[in-house]
Structure 1
Amino acid sequence: MDPILELKGISKRFGNKVVLEDINLKIFSGEILGLIGRSGCGKSTLIKILVGYYQADKGEIIFNGNKIKRDFKEIKKIVGYTTQDNSFYEKLTIQENMYYYANLYNINKTTRKNRIQEILKEIDLYNSKDTLAGRISGGMKRRLDFAISLLHNPKIVILDEPTTGLDPILVEKFWEMVTKISKKEGISILVSSHILSELESYCTSAAYMENGRIKHLIKIDNNTKLEREFKK
């Protein structure tokens, strides 16, 4: 099986400091890949390259066999992104936020309404669509961020510490939603998290980063303990 996204020799430095060095990584369709490593290992910089915030100094990003141009618009077409912080506007309703971002993504006006309704129903926010985003629960806020990231039919969604601040029940519900939608729409998920137990439960594989490099690739099964990677 060919990867849906492949990184070849990605390197990045800031001044004299090397932050990423020769990153090679393949992400396959429908895969949920965890990105782990100690603080400062380069995870955040790699994510910012993948979403177009930074340009790599060296290397290639290949999508479905085609090299991606080094501009934000090209990457934005295929990648959805949720940050640790809420990206929506609290003084807008759930539905108003969806329409606002649909406009930013230039989603066709004739299909926009149906796409928004479809996502809100899938993520169980439709009945609350007229509620101000600032008044919804923490779990609903994470779902709204995820909903926004799905608007433009991305092939890959990047989740950065997606369950921070959620209680265990909401964490489980969030991941059940993510895995269901990943399977239904064939979306690959790249998730960066320090909560290793979640990645062990819901990811299919993981990449361990250290000093700006990917040191190990791990296939996750029932016996996987990601904490061991930090002790090698």
Structure 2
Amino acid sequence: MAAVLVDGLTKRFGDFTAVDAISFEIKEGEIFGLLGPNGAGKTTAISMLSTLLEPTSGRALLNGIDIQNDQDGVRKAIGIVFQDQSLDEELTAWENMDFHGRLYRIPKVIREARIGEMLRLVELEDRQDSLVKTFSGGMRRRLEIARGLLHEPSVLFLDEPTLGLDPQTRNHLWEYIRNLNRRKGITIILTTHYMDEADRLCNRVAIIDRGRIVAMDTPANLKNRVGEDVVSITSPDADRIAGGITAPWILGAEQYDGQVIIRLQSAEDHLLELLRIIGGEGYTIRSISIRKPTLEDAFLHYTGREMRQEEAGAVDRMRMMMPRRN
């Protein structure tokens, strides 16, 4: 049985469709990523899966439990780390964990044993009596993950878990998440707009754009579908280069913000010929680089635009319509 089964899940706010008939399955123990820009529908999707929002249509099962027919059952089976911090800064790390355990009615002896285990897991046992307001951003995220695991959920939601953290802290947190998945075998659903995060953590990734899943596969397969090599050319003639360049070994050429992204086979074998073609047309080249495809290339390939924030008006309207968490 799949840990998560989603079929045609949709959420509308008035005439705005935030999530548009998404469908996927997640295996037990898998780290599954929802990759997309701000406003793409990632948080709305996990808000429905975690019973914080009622779907407009469609259905979803978590460990066979229907998210609409048995919301209490779903909530017992999941843990969630919100994008926005939800810790009480005036309580200690232990007190935050203890309060969470009491809400889930975990008996005292079991609760205290689990709190100690979880704090050791995220290497915060030496700060268990410190007020959360003295913690760094990375320490707070680790504590939130530990708290989300206290009641032993089978599915853990991580909504933009490293948002706003410095690169070193992000890398450390990635290690915690990987170790958690290996040691506990827990199913993790991760939302992110960081390409490297999805690439390094996720077994599979669903690229979500404007509420729709436009591609879904392993990070390696998504990158391989783009083509073997990517040549990026910065030029004032980018539009004309992208629209006019042709050769049997060129798989595609697209223009984004003054850059031509050319997908081709064996770039090292064809680079000189490519430059001769462009130079022969009298086009100006300001810079050129060669690299292997990335998840950002995959996103561009499937959505036709850069990984950037959605139109502000649509995002703001969706936020106004979503219920606030107290």
Same fold? TM cut 0.5 = yes
Segment drifting more, 218-227 vs 34-43: 218-227
Residue in structure 1 matched with residue 199 of structure 2 by the alignment: 200
Q: Which residue type is aligned with residue 66 of structure 2?
A: K
Residue in structure 1 matched with residue 164 of structure 2 by the alignment: 165
Structure 2 alignment gaps of length 5 or more: 224-293, 302-326
Matched, 1:105 2:174: no
Report the Cα offset of residue 66 of structure 1.
4.4
Residue in structure 2 matched with residue 22 of structure 1 by the alignment: 21
What root-mean-square deviation, in Å, do the aligned CA atoms of Structure 1 and Structure 2 show?
1.8
Q: How far apart are the structure 2 equivalents of 1:9 and 1:223?
A: 23
Report the Cα offset of residue 120 of structure 1.
0.7
| Kept after mapping to 2: 8 A contact 1:11/1:59 | yes
Residue in structure 1 matched with residue 137 of structure 2 by the alignment: 138
Q: Say which of 212, 226, 232 aligns to 2:295.
A: 226
State the SS of the aligned residue for 1:221: helix
Report the Cα offset of residue 38 of structure 1.
2.7
Residue in structure 2 matched with residue 48 of structure 1 by the alignment: 47
Q: Which residue type is aligned with residue 298 of structure 2?
A: E
State the SS of the aligned residue for 2:22: strand
Q: TM-score, structure 1 length as denominator?
A: 0.93
Residue in structure 2 matched with residue 120 of structure 1 by the alignment: 119
Per-residue CA deviations over 1:1-45 (Å, capped at 9, x if unaligned) read x42111111112112222222211111111111111233221121
Q: Which residue type is aligned with residue 53 of structure 2?
A: Y
Q: How far apart are the structure 2 equivalents of 1:195 and 1:127?
A: 31
Q: How far apart are the structure 1 equivalents of 2:216 and 2:78?
A: 22
| Kept after mapping to 1: 8 A contact 2:65/2:74 | no
Runs of 4+ in 1 over 6 A off after TM superposition: none
Residue in structure 2 matched with residue 155 of structure 1 by the alignment: 154
| Kept after mapping to 2: 8 A contact 1:53/1:72 | no
Q: How far apart are the structure 1 equivalents of 2:211 and 2:163?
A: 24
Structure 1 alignment gaps of length 5 or more: none
Q: How far apart are the structure 2 equivalents of 1:111 and 1:153?
A: 11
CA radius of gyration, larger in: 2
Q: Which residue type is aligned with residue 130 of structure 1?
A: D
State the SS of the aligned residue for 1:89: coil
| Kept after mapping to 2: 8 A contact 1:204/1:221 | no
Report the Cα offset of residue 67 of structure 1.
3.2
Q: How far apart are the structure 2 equivalents of 1:97 and 1:63?
A: 27
Q: Which residue type is aligned with residue 92 of structure 1?
A: L
Q: TM-score, structure 2 length as denominator?
A: 0.67
Residue in structure 2 matched with residue 6 of structure 1 by the alignment: 5
Segment drifting more, 90-99 vs 19-28: 19-28
Per-residue CA deviations over 1:155-184 (Å, capped at 9, x if unaligned) read 111111111222222111111111111111
Q: How far apart are the structure 1 equivalents of 2:67 and 2:192?
A: 26
Larger relative contact order, structure 1 or 2 (CA cutoff 8 Å, min sep 6) = 1
Q: How far apart are the structure 2 equivalents of 1:164 and 1:136?
A: 16
